[in-house]
Chain A
């Protein structure tokens, strides 16, 4: 993989340059490493949290469930707030810093929290931090990258992020081997990674500011952010497409459960499903991002959902267990590579420059809410029809939705973008 950590050449020299591939900007690499460090921190904790809460803190069913639920749901709610704050202040770096900082501080309190209420508060703070930081960070990547390389830039960022997510559990369980029952050791090391990430962003993170940067160039100063910017005619079709496809995107947990139901797969493999999907995702994030830049990002986003259709079918079709497992995880990783960073890349350019963070946050929130609804609805379908028929039904509906969404691709990929 070729990644250069040089500053992006100033003044559009890349376009005419004879080099085949311009370097990825320092902004993207720095933010990617911040995400990597933070993901090592958060994923090492989530890997051990269930064990820690049940075996050490002594919590059991409902208390654990309450905390787990918070862990899943909280961040979507504050995402729009973080986006708005970044746009209104034109200080995405420091809003992101606030988010990363809040999560790091939460780690400190996790060391001392005992009992359900304390731990629930800490977990909530951590997730609020994640919600605040995501959109401003993506807006910085968007602002710092030339439009034609956005897909690859987000691919590089998501790859680094996913490397952190894959390393976190390995580090956590490695530490537990070195220090038996050393949950506090995992929490302290997790805190160390979080602090390193916060320090990197604070000290070396670029202070990318869409409005100020525009001001410095010759063009007119953009007006301050208004909520009206979010109803931009260009953004609406993206929100509609993302919402409809999201309604047929069930959570990974179901797909993995269907795989288990496939027969012959030992439950002990369950955690490795996540690892397998992550590895596929991190390997494909950059190539698919580059592909998106060439063939159209909206096209990649929409067609990428066919990989999800494939994953649904692969998990339940009567093939060999090995083929089903490898195929499902590979297709699921492909789906994430074609959608997660790509949608941020699209959303950031479909709103006026002063609303970039909010636009990205809006798209991500629509996706998150639609997927929550999808999983709730699929739970009913699973019980009514059983896993195979339920998955096949959703696969068929999603294939139809992809066809319908495909009619919007020209409008999205052809839309005038803000640079």
Chain B
């Protein structure tokens, strides 16, 4: 081919690519706008109908006008009509008197925010977060807030990523700072690894909590003490713990294929005996902090494989052979308010 022919072919290729990409962008833009203007498929109910009784609070993920908005359903009718709160959160956790809501504002200078809301979903406090929202939880009486984010630019670590997990008093009170600064005690010995990461707090009360500590490519379930500023290992191979309502058991993710691949399943550990039950028939490859629906049932979010952005919340009993069941469609980051 002559140079002239090559130039012509190149121009033709670039024009074809540019036209195809532009058509796609315009078409998608129109489609997304149409989606975001549409009413939710899910049935709706006024918020006053669900604010008093036991309920489930979650992020609605239907691709419609309420995408990303926090919604509420009654605990005894999770598949029923949902009430929208008007507040948008990437991650949300709620208690009877308030909620913690993590927000990411995308952009070249993206910013991340942790907002606290009262029982009427009005903002009472707001803090800058140092990275992309990942987890949030409140203590049982709602006085403490825990947040986990991914920190940008921390990727010098051997594991290649870094989290920042902080605990503070609801409504901008006392702050305990990054839990990485707490004294770490593994198997009875005080250790000081540089590559430690902490994530996924679940509170026992206003001083004690469980969380995950990762260092050297391994993970530990740790018990944390805010007054003593310590994290003490309980057992190995556990991520994103969640304490049962009766306080006797902890559910968490376990990597059942510890090699290059990460393949999580749920396990439940009895805190008194240390006995661990793997939910073998449960979900594989889930990546969420599970929540307890009641003392025998766990719930968690799963993305839909065929619909990017849409997630469902599933329920599974804590027995090895229990099969997952769809609990709430188009729902993510669910917490149970009793």
Interface residues of A (CB under 8 A from B): 50-51, 54-66, 68-73, 114-117, 120, 169-170, 173, 175-185, 188-189, 191-192, 195-196, 199-200, 203-204, 250-254, 256-257, 266-273, 275, 375-376, 378-380, 382-383
Contact = CB atoms under 8 A, between A and B. Distances in A.
B208 to A, nearest CB: 22
10 contacts: A58-B301, A61-B240, A68-B161, A116-B287, A178-B29, A189-B25, A203-B7, A203-B9, A204-B10, A376-B156
B160 A54 contact: no
Interface string B288-327: 1000000000000111010011010000000000000000
A66 B308 contact: no
Nearest to B193: A383
A186 to B, nearest CB: 9
A78 B100 CA distance: 45
B193 to A, nearest CB: 9
A69 B288 contact: no
A contact patch SS: helix
Given A170-B108, A176-B106, A188-B24, A61 B161 contact: yes
A363 to B, nearest CB: 22
B302 A58 contact: yes
A268 B9 contact: no
Interface of B: 3, 6-7, 9-10, 13-14, 17-18, 20-21, 24-25, 28-29, 32, 36, 67, 90, 104, 106-112, 128-135, 148, 150, 152-163, 192, 194-195, 197, 199-200, 214, 219, 239-240, 255, 261-262, 285, 287-288, 301-303, 305, 308-309, 311, 332
B310 to A, nearest CB: 9
B160 A73 contact: yes
Q: Most chain-B Cβ atoms within 10 A of its Cβ — which of A175, A180, A188, A204?
A: A180
Contacts of A181: 32, 67, 309
B25 A178 contact: yes
B155 A72 contact: yes
Given A54-B150, A58-B287, A379-B156, 15 more contacts: A54-B133, A69-B155, A70-B160, A115-B285, A120-B261, A170-B108, A173-B108, A195-B17, A199-B10, A203-B9, A204-B10, A253-B156, A257-B153, A269-B109, A271-B110
A173 B161 contact: no
B161 A51 contact: no
B25 A275 contact: no
Given A253-B156, A267-B128, A269-B109, A65 B161 contact: yes
A253 B153 contact: yes
A116 B253 CA distance: 15
Contact of B110 (A51, A59, A175): A51
B60 to A, nearest CB: 14
A14 to B, nearest CB: 22
A267 B178 CA distance: 15
B69 to A, nearest CB: 13
A115 B304 CA distance: 10
B17 A68 contact: no
Nearest to B90: A55
A50 B160 contact: no
A54 B104 CA distance: 11
Contacts of B311: 58
B286 to A, nearest CB: 9
